[in-house]
Amino acid sequence: MSLTNHFFYSRPWRFRFKERRTLLIIGDLTAAILAFTIALWYWASSERFIGFSIDFLQRRVPPWFFLFPIVWMILLIELYDIYRAGNWKHTIKGVATAALIGFGLYLILYFYYSDPPRSLLPRRGVAGFLVGASLFTLLWRWIYIRVFTAPQFMRRVLIVGGGIAGSLMVEVYKKLWPPPFFLAGIIDDDPEKISSSIEGYSILGSSSDLLEIVNDHEISDIIVAISGHMESGMFQALIKLQEKGVEITRVPKIYEELLNRVPVQVLEADWIIRSFVDENRVSGFYELSKRIMDLLGAMVGIAILFFLFPFITLAIFLDDGRPIFYNQTRCKKGDINYSIIKFRTMRRDAEANGLPQWAKEDDTRATRIGRVLRKTHLDELPQFINILRGDMSLVGPRAERPELVNVFESRIPFYRARLLVKPGLTGWAQVNFGYAETIEETTTKLEYDLFYIKNRSLWLDLLILLRTPATVMGFRGR
């Protein structure tokens, strides 16, 4: 079977998964700049003598106003999740939330300042931008959903391997909406699987049919889901296809790209060693920068703690008496125990039997004020003291109790890898998943934690910090 020189993968409008996020950013930035320009024109139309001119820009527009498009992009950060971006309801909610937050910040500044500084807070300009940015962003996102999530713009994918890894990949694919690509089918060399299906997707043939199937189904990408030994025929066919431009990806990599977590259940020990030892030596610059960021964040957090301390203390005391604070042993980097500090939110007999328990939704052990503190995460404010001491970081896996760590290590593969970094006040698992009540949910949280450890950087830390307020304002605490 001869291969054509140019497969259908070469069609430039079939966007890769990461390219869609870039497309969203370009579209949103264009919408923000257009709204910014119209806002300036609308504002200038009230200036009777100078109008929309260079003189107007120099004399009337404060420097911070030019940052509005960037601020708008930051407020939309939750909508750069590809799956939220493909959902119209999530899109409307995200844009409305961004506009309300922007308007709220403006009101705070407007009523905080008095004249003459208030003259630097133009109502027409701000209102024009927020209205324009909301409308243009919604229009662009509607176009994106209607056009760029259609099958014609998707990569066409074939999974090679119908075993555990292949079945996992199909299961993940079926849960994602909008779909990240078009799944044409599966290849497997097991004669008993030929002409059968996995979760409704047909096994189209074996490795001997691979080249023909790629041509017939216009395949642009192949996901290799073979964990063990690979036959030489399959290997040669894959190499030949890669030479022709078909993109070859292994399950762990595509799983990371699609879900922003690693597939713990199908990982092998050599992958863990390679990812967390050979390839994951962070620079001294990152470690120093992260510590400086922790110290700055801790000082801001402690200032907030001192301001709110009298009110929270009084509320806890009136509701359930003393103690006000709660100390508990947790594990930090290197499996070293330390004492975490929190405002007390549970009854004093919450663990009367002495056994650790998972926090649950609407936990009955919580006091009345404790439920409020946990929902708003205000109970965690004293942990800024732990960050200042160096026990914790602003960003990292959630600290667990030693008793639970021992249980999870015995039941979840690679759980101990979480102890390679400091625990964090917030983290990748916290902003993407939240709390866990079962071993299965704890496994999913571990997948997010391992993704963070493998890919940690200042940019990822900043992204997590930017997404954390949405978690707090969404009252996702327990």
Retrieve residue 264's tokens. 């713990």
pLDDT for 60: 76
Q: Which of 257, 193, 175 is nearest to 223 (CA)?
A: 257
* pTM > 0.75: yes or no: yes
Angle between helices 17-44 and 251-259 in degrees, nearest 10: 20
CB 251 within 8 A of CB 244: no
- State how far the Cα of 373 lies from the Cα of 366, in Å rounded to an integer: 10
| Fold type of domain 155-259 | Rossmann fold (3.40.50)
pLDDT for 193: 85
CB 156 within 8 A of CB 221: yes
Q: Which helix (H) or strand (E) holds 466?
A: helix 458-473
Give 475's DSSP letter. Answer: T
pLDDT for 243: 86
C-alpha triplet 214, 216, 222: angle, nearest 5°: 20
pLDDT by residue for the chain (478 residues), tens digit each? Answer: 444 544 444 565 678 777 888 999 999 999 999 999 999 888 888 766 566 667 777 777 888 888 889 999 999 998 998 888 988 999 999 999 999 988 888 887 777 655 545 455 678 888 899 999 999 999 999 999 998 888 788 889 999 998 889 999 999 999 988 888 999 999 988 888 888 889 999 999 888 888 899 999 989 999 999 877 777 778 888 888 888 889 999 998 999 999 999 998 887 766 677 666 655 567 788 999 999 999 999 999 999 999 999 999 999 999 888 899 989 999 999 889 999 999 998 887 666 565 666 666 666 778 899 889 988 889 999 999 999 999 999 999 999 999 999 999 999 988 988 998 999 999 999 999 878 888 999 999 999 999 999 899 999 999 999 988 877 665 455 5
**Domain ranges in the chain with CATH number 3.40.50.720:** 155-259
